Structure 1
Amino acid sequence: MSDADPHAGQPVEHRGPSLADAERAVILLHGRGARAQGMLGFADDLPSEGTAFVAPQAARATWYPNSFLEPTEENEPWLSSALGLVSDVFADVTEHVPADRVALLGFSQGSCLGSEFVARNPQRFGGFVAFSGGLHGPEGTTHDYDGDLDETPVFLGCSDRDPHIPEERVHETRDVFESMNADVTERIYEGMGHTVNEDELEHAADILGSL
C-alpha cells in the first residue's frame, strides 16, 4: 500500500461463475470496517444463476478516512484511489460482460463510493443499488455532473433517521441521477436504522432480474 494510492493491489473476491461464463455481473462495495467476503452474502438474496459477484476489498477495511459529508479533499488520496480500484474492477468485468449487464451495489460507505463512481462515469450501466448512501460533499455542495446515464435503473434506499446518512442527501442524490437521465426509484423507511431490509433486497433483485 502506497501513501499516494492506498488501495492499489487490493484483493478482489469472487462468487459464482467465472466472468467468461457469466450472463451478468454485480460489483459489490462494502461499508466501513467490513470485508469484501461479507458482501458476497448478498448473492443469497439476489438472482444468482449466471451471475458473477465481484467484491473488491478496501485497504484497512475503509474506502476513505472521514465522513462522506466532509469536503472531498479531506478524504484524499483515499477517495481517488478507491474510485480507481472500482474503475479497474469495472474494466476487468466488462472485458467479459457488457456494461449494460453489469450492476453496482453498495452499502453505507460503499454506497457513497458507488454513487460517486456512477456519477463520474456516466453510461448505461445494468443498474446501481445504493443501500444507505449518497453523493459526497458537505451540506450545500453543488453536485455538477455532466453526462447521460441512459435510463440506467437506480435504487436508493435509506432510513429516515440513519445516523450516518441524512435523508436530504438521499433526495439530492436522487435529483442528480434523475437529471442525468437515470430511472431512479427512491425509498425512505421510517425508523429503520442503518441496515438493509427485505423491501430493499426485492428492489435490488428486480433490477438484476431484468438484466
Structure 2
Amino acid sequence: MNLSALPYGSDGIARRTALKQLALACGLALSASSLSALAASFSAPTDFSRRKKTLLSSDQLQLLRELGDIIIPTTDTPGAIAAGVHDFINHYTAYCASSAEQQQLLATLGRIEAGARSEFNKAFLTLTKAQQLQLLNAMEQAQNGFSQADRKGLKQLKALVVFGYYTSEPGATQELAYLAIPGGYKGNFKLKEIGRAWALNF
C-alpha cells in the first residue's frame, strides 16, 4: 500500500499513526521525532488530480530517478524505477512535505550535481557507475568537500527512497512476501524457514 493509497478523511490521528507504522515497518533510519514530523506533515492534496503540482524540474526528476536506481537497483525483483519511486517522492514532497523538507531535498540534489561537476567536471548522469558510487560514498562519509549536513541530506533521501519503494505494490508484494489476510499465529520458526520478511498489512 503506497502513501497515496491511504484514505483521505477527517481522522488525521489514525492516518498519522498508519504513516508512522509504515515508515517503521520499512526500517527507516529516522528518529522518532522525524517520523512524527513525516506523519504530521501529511495533508490532503490541494489538487486531487495529483498531476499539476510538482516540486522537481525534469532534470532533477531524472537525477532522482538515477539515484533511486543506485539505492535499490533491479535484481530478480523490480527496483526503484519500476516502482516509480522518483515520481512518488516528487508527489510526496510537493503535496505533503514541509517547506524545510522540500528545501533539504532540493539542496541534497543540488549538492550531488555540484559535487559531480567539481570532482569530474561532468553532470552526475553522465558519470560512470564507478564515479557515481565514488561521489555518493564520499558524501556518505562527509569527505572530499561534503559536510555533515550533506551526509544528513543523503541519509534522508535514502530513507525516502526506501519508504517509497517498500510501500509500493512491487516493493510490498514482490520484494517482500505478502498475504492480504495472514493465516494463524505460529510463534516459533527456524530462521531458515522464514524466507523473506513479510510486508505488513495495515
Identify the TM-score tier after normalising by the shorter chain.
under 0.3
TM-score by length of 1: 0.26
Q: Which has the higher contact order (CA 8 A, sep 6+)?
A: 2
TM-score by length of 2: 0.26
Q: Which is higher, the Rg of structure 1 or of structure 2?
A: 2
Structure whose residues are more often helix by fraction:
2
